[in-house]
Chains A and B, each alone.
Chain A
Amino acid sequence: MPKAKKPADDDDYIDIDDAEPEGLKGADGGYAWEEEYKRSWDVIQEDASGSIQSSVLGISDQRKRKRRIRDTSIVQRGIIRHVMLVIDESESMSFKDMVPTRIHATLRLAEKFITEFFDQNPISQLSIIATKDGLAERLTELSSNPMDHINALRSKGNKDLAGEPSLQNALELGMHGLKRAPSHGLREIICVLGSLTTCDPGDIEQTLQALKQGQVRVSMVHLAAEVFVFKRICKETGGVFAVAIDEDNMKDVLFEC
């Protein structure tokens, strides 16, 4: 069908006709039963109740497609990246809206992310921080060996989830780790959070100022909803804040960071 004239050179043009509800087709094009376990009643409900869910997904899919066509902009990403990956281990991660629980899905995804990250940025360095119960601890030191990180994640037998995360402690710990990073590299902190609150020892405003001064870019993927202070920190440090609708979306969003 001939489409209406598109305004020239508008990358963000959303073509409404193009929306296809991504319902039961498998993401890899295979048979539906070969896919990972999907809660099909969720999908059906989204389609029936009206436009929001399916149209939002449709729009984000279109964006994804446009992005794949475009060049990945190297300008933002830099060549040497020092990234601290913060993983939330609070009680809210035991929630079952992702299979089998949020924390399991996150850890699985983190492994994929680490592999992809070192694929795309071979001379960068990564470190993993976990936060729970009002504290933050470093799981792995800054290193460029993906297997270190993946092994640490896998061997984390201690998968106890407790209490509330402390964003301030995690950010401070991350900044401390990044101090040793040379200034010609890009300093980043990427967080995956599930909790709607944060249990902080001091004023997170000061941490924000310190982050801005140290030119650290903070990005976050949240699994539940938009929290004002999290979004603000991301915006002011020049990072990205996104809320994941489901697992596939989480993967896309995390890889964006």
Chain B
Amino acid sequence: MRFFIDDLPVIFPYDYVYPEQYQYMCGLKRSLDSKGHAMLEMPSGTGKTVSLLSLIIAYQQFYPGRRKLVYCSRTVPEIDKALAELKRLMEYRQSHGCIDENFIGLGLTSRKNLCVHPRVSMERKGAVVDARCREMTASWVRNKAQSVGNIELCGYFEKLQDIESSELLPHGVYTLEDLTDYGKANGMCPYYLSRRVIPMADVIIYSFHYMLDPKVAELVSKEFEKDSIVVFDEAHNIDSICIDSLSIDINERTLRSSTASVERLGERVEEMKAQNSEKLRDEYDRLVEGLRDALAARDEDLVLSNPILPDHVLHEAVPGNIRKAEHFVRFLKRFIEYLKARMRVMHVVAETTPSFLKHIREVTYIERKPLRFCAERLASLVRTLEITDLEEYGALARVASFATLCATYDTGFMVLFEPYESDQSTIPNPVLHLACLDAAIAIKPVFQRFHTVIITSGTLSPMEMYPRMLEFAPVVQESFTMTLARQCFAPLVVTRGGDQATISSKFEVRNDPAVVRNYGNLLIEVSRVVPDGIVAFFPSYLYMESIVAMWNEKGFLTEVWKHKLIFVETPDAAETSVALQNYRAACNNGRGAVLLSVARGKVSEGIDFDHNFGRAVIMFGIPYQYTESRILKARLEFMREAHQIRENDFLTFDALRHASQCIGRVLRGKTDYGLMVLADKRYSRADKRSKLPRWISTCLTDVSTSLSTDMAIDLMRKFLKAMAQPFDLNSQLGISMWTNEHIIQHGGRGDIAATSAMEVDQAS
């Protein structure tokens, strides 16, 4: 269908539009017009991606200045889905007479997903694929091949070199599969093809890391114009991603491996000196003159990149004491020895980066400035020595990044050394953490560089938290509810068991036999009443294991077995995928199953449980983080001082966004229905309820907060019977599905053809 928002014609690839989709598109347009940032929350399963894409493409093509769209998503399957939607949208647009000239849309992922070389693509680990690829595509290897011959090069890569950039890829939208097929058909490497075409593409879809993580962002995202539109989809965890991209952990194995790597590096330097000191001398000269490595312009050669943000890279010459290769190697050795010495301490040490650096200076006379250049110098050395097999140097690269990060940032980081994994263990397992505390460091440059950044997800509440944490000011900040002709989900808060004892996963009471019994009874009753699949989420693996063991002892699990099969999620990915497969089979053939999983695990992040795969979801307790963790405590303190966010507020916010994410898994689309059970006394309190997304909290009636198990079961039965009645889609028209007439009714502009026809009618 086709309608107007203000003066922008939007082609929407379905016959009806949901009211919330329409409002979402209006909100988007406002932020695009005002060239400001936006935060939009829309419920899961209501077609967010298609509304986003159709509005932005319409905007892009209609107004002059074709702004590029950079769409960031979380996982590769999501990227693929978004590309498929885009393809469908463009086909629809074409069939309705929209001429989009020279439109290119594609995605980018790692080499592992895109390689077509018969030998290299068979490797299973991503790092190995990268290393093998570089062995064949690095510039020194290719130069040597020209002179020496008898060196294997990648034919697909070579073919790419001969073709002009503008003729590389014909117009259209390419999913990852399309891209690999095209590459195979024409003998070109899809990965490098994609990288080459990015500057000319209209829509690029890739993962968050390519925009946020300094290590990879430099490679890919440095050439985008200021007015490009950046969209972060499923961005509720974006602060964790920012923090993880700047945090490093070092343990004993890393140090051992880096010592070995440094030895090898030293040997190679000696070798090279003996054979051909030209290269080393060239490098030294370049560093003396302060020339930023011109070789870095060759993307394919950039094997180790700088872990700090481009703004913080010093534009100065590398300091004298690490210019010569052998000096640098010795420098690294000293630093590693220092780290080893620190790891022998038997108590916990937590300090800021400046004090850490001061200590280094006192003990080893290593200054701050050379440390800042550590990563860069290592990268340059590795290039000069023509090393391609970077797996072996991975640990050393980590140590170098550690040094650079420590030395660059004064605030917002913490160095934490823990000799034991937890306070109770007796076997020493020392780990040195460099923890980033400030989520804004990684993402602020994005907000500053692009003037339209859109953050969207199904669970962004409470929305005031993000602008404070990430330090940006959104122009548009809205939360949309689901319009439904019939209420197809029922959130229920169960606070008491059948014996009227309160249930909670609070740390003090979680092992209380009454609480365990009540949770067990809740699970049994739900499995008796709900057909097909049930998903149950626990706050942590530890809690899940202990409570399941207790249930097993007392015989609760045998009761559940009578009604449904039980599957459990484990930290192992392969086991979990087998469990999921069997869970789905059980849901499909009438056996019924319960899946026990964890609120912060892989299942809750990525897997959808639509229709019969998830008829009910139970959230046992509130998924708080492990509050005794020192890193978390440091982060909370930092937020209190820097952003005036109270600890309690942040912890509740974090717990509830995970809980909302979990219960949102069960609803996909408007014909789907599901029950959401929140089983903890604390959910009935107003401060927790207010932090649930608007589309859920508006459905929480007074009756359904603070229920006991039997009352909840009663409500569930009635709900299931009501939902199973035949439902006519046409009855939704006007309420939860709109056509052009309804848009006009609600104050929009509808389709200009229709409105002008009406005017003609009225005139005559």
Contact = CB atoms under 8 A, between A and B. Distances in A.
B590 A226 contact: no
A37 interface: no
A52 interface: yes
Interface in B708-731: 717-718, 720-726, 728, 730-731
B590 A167 contact: yes
Contacts of A205: 589
A56 B532 CA distance: 23
Contacts of A243: 720-721, 724-725
A227 interface: yes
Interface in B584-599: 587-592
A53 B669 CA distance: 22
B563 interface: yes
A46 B718 CA distance: 9
Given A14-B731, A197-B564, A197-B592, A224 B720 contact: yes
Contact of B590 (A53, A97, A204, A242): A204
B703 interface: yes
A54 to B, nearest CB: 10
A226 B724 contact: yes
A225 B590 contact: no
A56 B488 CA distance: 13
B142 interface: no
Nearest to A167: B590
B563 A196 contact: yes
A200 B589 CA distance: 9
A230 B589 CA distance: 9
A53 B725 contact: no
A243 B725 CA distance: 6
Given A14-B731, A222-B724, A243-B725, A228 B611 contact: yes
- For A49, A53, A197, A204, which residue has the most chain B Cβ atoms within 10 angstroms? A197
B265 interface: no
Interface residues of B, number: 32
Given A196-B530, A197-B563, A225 B724 contact: yes
A225 B718 CA distance: 9
- For A49, A200, A225, A229, which residue has the most chain B Cβ atoms within 10 angstroms? A225
Interface in A31-72: 46, 49-50, 52-53, 56, 60
B531 A228 contact: yes
A203 B531 contact: no
Contacts of B528: 196
A224 B717 contact: yes
B530 A225 contact: yes
A12 B590 contact: no
B487 interface: yes
- For A14, A52, A222, which residue has the most chain B Cβ atoms within 10 angstroms? A52
A56 B591 contact: no
A226 B723 CA distance: 8
Interface string B473-498: 00000000000001100000000000
B757 interface: no
B529 interface: yes
B589 A225 contact: no
Contacts of B564: 197
B725 A204 contact: no
Contact of B532 (A12, A222, A228): A228
B652 interface: no
A228 B724 contact: no
A228 B725 contact: no
A198 interface: yes
A98 interface: no
B612 interface: yes
B722 A245 contact: yes
B722 A228 contact: no
A121 to B, nearest CB: 25
Contact of A224 (B486, B529, B587, B612): B529
Contacts of B720: 224-226, 243
Interface string B607-623: 00001100100000000
Interface string B687-725: 000000000000001010000000000000110111111
A56 B589 contact: no
Contacts of A229: 588-590
Interface string B385-405: 000000000000000000000
Given A197-B592, A198-B591, A228 B612 contact: yes
A226 B531 contact: yes
Contacts of A197: 563-564, 590-592
Contacts of A198: 590-591
Contact of B721 (A14, A167, A224): A224
Contacts of A46: 718
A255 B284 CA distance: 93
Given A226-B723, A243-B724, A204 B589 contact: yes
B725 A225 contact: no
Interface in A137-189: 167
A52 B532 contact: no
Contacts of B717: 97, 224-225
A46 B717 CA distance: 13
B718 A53 contact: yes
Nearest to B593: A197
Interface string A214-257: 00000000101111111000000000001111000000000000
A200 B588 CA distance: 13
Contacts of A225: 529-531, 615, 717, 720-721, 723-724
A12 B729 CA distance: 12
B592 A53 contact: no
Nearest to B587: A228
Nearest to B592: A197
- For B591, B615, B721, B726, which residue has the most chain A Cβ atoms within 10 angstroms? B721
Contacts of B529: 196, 224-225
B592 A60 contact: no
Contacts of B718: 46, 53
- For B487, B530, B592, B717, which residue has the most chain A Cβ atoms within 10 angstroms? B592
A25 B718 CA distance: 22
- For B487, B717, B726, which residue has the most chain A Cβ atoms within 10 angstroms? B726
Interface in B517-573: 528-532, 563-564
Given A228-B587, A229-B588, A229-B590, A52 B486 contact: yes
B703 A49 contact: yes
B589 A227 contact: no
Interface in A200-214: 200, 203-205
A181 B468 CA distance: 75
A227 B531 contact: yes
A226 B612 CA distance: 9
A133 B438 CA distance: 61
Contacts of B703: 49
Nearest to B586: A197
A196 B611 CA distance: 15
Contacts of A53: 718, 722
Interface in A110-138: none
Contacts of B724: 222, 225-226, 242-243
Interface in B724-764: 724-726, 728, 730-731
A71 B530 CA distance: 37
Nearest to A91: B562
A225 B717 CA distance: 8
- Considering the complex of A and B, which 4 residue pairs feature the smallest CB-CB distances, nearest first? A228-B612, A243-B724, A225-B720, A226-B724
Given A52-B486, A203-B589, 12 more contacts: A12-B728, A12-B730, A14-B728, A56-B725, A196-B592, A205-B589, A224-B531, A224-B720, A226-B723, A228-B612, A229-B590, A242-B726
8 contacts: A196-B530, A196-B531, A197-B590, A225-B529, A225-B615, A228-B588, A228-B590, A242-B726
Interface of B: 486-487, 528-532, 563-564, 587-592, 611-612, 615, 701, 703, 717-718, 720-726, 728, 730-731
Interface of A: 12, 14, 46, 49-50, 52-53, 56, 60, 97, 167, 196-198, 200, 203-205, 222, 224-230, 242-245
